[in-house]
Amino acid sequence: MTRIELYDATLRDGMGGGGMSLTAEEKVRLVHRLDDLGVDIVEAGFPSSNPKEAELFARLEHEPLHHATIAAFGMTRRRGVAADEDAGLRVLAACFAPICTIVGKTSTTHVEKVVRVSREENVAMIAESVAFLVAQGKRVVFDAEHVFDGLREDRDYAIECLRAAATAGAERLALCDTNGPSLPSDIAHAVADVASALPGVALGIHCHDDGGCAVANTLMAVQAGATQVQGTMNGIGERTGNANLITIIANLQLKMGHRVVSDEQLRLLTATAHFTDELLNRRPDAHQPYVGKHAFAHKAGLHAAGIRADATTFEHVDPALVGNRRDLLISELAGRGTVTDKAERAGLELDDATTARVLERIKALEHDGYQFEAADGSFELLLRKESGDYQPLFRLESWRVIVEQRADGKVETEATIKIWVDGERYVSVAEGNGPVNALDAALRAAITEAHPHLSDIVLTNFKVRILDETKGSDATIRVLIDATDGEQTWGSIGVSTNLIGASWMALVDSLEFAEQPSRVRGAAAS
């Protein structure tokens, strides 16, 4: 079986997505993670003279990589200009990157209506650009833009363009579904057609997810003969994104029998996916295939019992293979198995009587409006309270929040907190941009003397839901807070008819969880 080459386009195509931006330093960090993961080619972008790109390429030239090769990205020469006089191609030729990926047209619509050159000139642009870079000692990947549209419009012309690139010395032709319209069966037929028209020519595949089929299309292309897969980390990219290389790697290796990375590298998949999101300041998608927090989550009690008996009954692969872990969700449906499993993970041993009490307690709390699925931190605290293995962070004397609106329209919020920690009384006052923010600030000011690393905990998300809307301002309010220490993320919950009261409960849980022995132990081990 031919080895499938992994080609990552996160730094170039991936940056086309809304709100995506990375500094040169951050890009270099990502390149190292891709290198560790076993990606073969990392496309870094166009080595133009703008300061950010110049810095990136200057850094990359001296960065020691174990495995990955850097590719610079550009276009075929402009019309009517000799390749060796084309400014863009000269920049590529001068760049240190051993691989140059150049994009060119293969669809007659684009040739005639967009670029407005003759069909012959377009073929010459492809052939001469590839030949020029090859003569400069570069390995060339030819990205055939809109090629699937091109094959539908005028198959023979599209093939002629591809042949021109191959004959001129391109080591690989990447077939691009640039607008992402194709379905898996279209891709399978088209790739097989190109493979039979150009025997012996190495093909790649570059898909976009506009029809929601980018990963499926990529896998079909591999089945039809493509030996390079292009994609981005977590599928980021313009519009609906590029093909998700994370999912592709897992499917190639675990479902299709291709050995694209080592077992050890495959276990880096989840961490690499989350690292990319952290770098981009995006919340990781909990439902992302293979690597999401809930990718191996089990809710129903019976279901969870089945998982404990034999994981293959409800899991498509072993989560550990991709560096993920099983997540047992807590809900009214959950049975003993889920609770026991969560307890084990927190390092607690529950006897039967305690487990029964926990189940009763969950039932009662869920009736009051609690939902522990997104509040794993609060759930562990509940287990600890019921099993007697619970250390409160402090004893509350009182808190108070004052919100004052002035005549000039300014709203000022001030919180006062009185607590006891280890027999000492702490009183602190803080201002905030709202009641929860002020309470958070006051609580931390009071508590960080006794618990200094609580200042590293960041609250990343604050969600409020009104549970019985018909009751108006008497309604029950559920507050969910997500917190992180930069490595682990946990959720906490509070429920009350008072918004600030519910927020306070969730806030206290999020900080108390941070100081629980299971986490402190975990932190010491990692």
* Positions in the binding site for Zn ion (CB under 5 A): 13
Name the minimum Å distance from CB 103 to Zn ion.
Answer: 9
Would you say 210 or 515 has its CB closer to Zn ion? 210
Distance between CA 327 and CA 379 in Å, rounded? 13
For residue 454, what are its two tokens? 């609580």
Complex with Zn ion: residue 14 or 284, whichever CB lies closer: 14
Give least dist CB 245 to Zn ion, A. 13
Contact present, 322 and 266 (Cβ < 8 Å): yes
The residue among 232 and 253 lying less far from Zn ion, judged by its C-beta, is: 232
- Looking at beta carbons only, is 123 or 236 nearer to Zn ion? 236
Residue 272 Cβ vs Zn ion, minimum distance, rounded to whole Å: 21
Question: Of 13 and 40, which has the nearer Cβ to Zn ion?
Answer: 13
Q: Is the CB of residue 313 less than 8 Å from the CB of residue 342?
A: no
Residue 8 Cβ, how far from Zn ion at the closest point, in Å?
A: 12
Q: Which residue is nearest to Zn ion (CB)?
A: 13
Question: Distance between CA atoms of 158 and 107, rounded to whole angstroms?
Answer: 6
- Is 13 or 509 the residue whose CB approaches Zn ion more closely? 13
The secondary structure of the chain in percent helix, strand, coil, rounded to multiples of 5, reads 45, 20, 35
Q: How many CB atoms lie within 10 A of CB 241?
A: 21
Our CB check for Zn ion shows the closer of 13 and 440 to be 13
Tokens of 400: 């108070």
Residue 486 half-sphere exposure toward CB, CA atoms < 13 A: 7
482 contacts 490 by C-beta, under 8 angstroms = yes
Quote the least distance from Cβ 13 to Zn ion, whole Å: 4
Coil vs helix vs strand at 418: strand
Q: How far is the CB of 208 from Zn ion (least distance, A)?
A: 6
Instruction: Tell me whether residue 207 or residue 222 sits nearer to Zn ion (CB atom).
Output: 207
Find the angle CA(272)-CA(277)-CA(282) to the nearest 5 degrees.
Answer: 165
* Rounded Cα gap, residues 202 and 162, in angstroms: 11
Minimum distance of Zn ion from residue 253's CB (angstroms): 23
The CB-of-503 to Zn ion minimum distance in angstroms stands at 44
> 280 or 348: whose CB is closer to Zn ion?
280
Least distance to Zn ion, CB of residue 248, Å: 14
Which of 105/274 has CB closer to Zn ion? Answer: 105
Tokens found for residue 165: 């690139």
Taking only Cα atoms into account, the Rg of the chain, rounded to an integer number of angstroms, comes to: 28
Cα dist from 42 to 60, 98, 228, whole Å: 11, 11, 12
For residue 217, the minimal CB distance to Zn ion (Å) is: 13
**Nearest 10 degrees: Cα torsion 305, 311, 315, 320:** 120
To Zn ion, the closest distance from the beta carbon of 145 in angstroms equals 8
Residue 265 or 276 with smaller CB distance to Zn ion: 276
Give the separation between CA 111 and CA 173, rounded to whole angstroms. 18
Longest C-alpha distance within the chain, in Å?
Answer: 87
DSSP-assigned states of every residue in 192-239:
HHHHHHSTT--EEEEEB-TTS-HHHHHHHHHHTT--EEEEBGGG--ST
List Cβ neighbours of 129 (8 Å cut-off, separation of 6 or more): 75, 76, 77, 83, 86, 89, 102, 104, 168
Query: Which runs of E-coded beta strand occur in 249-394?
Result: 297-298, 327-328
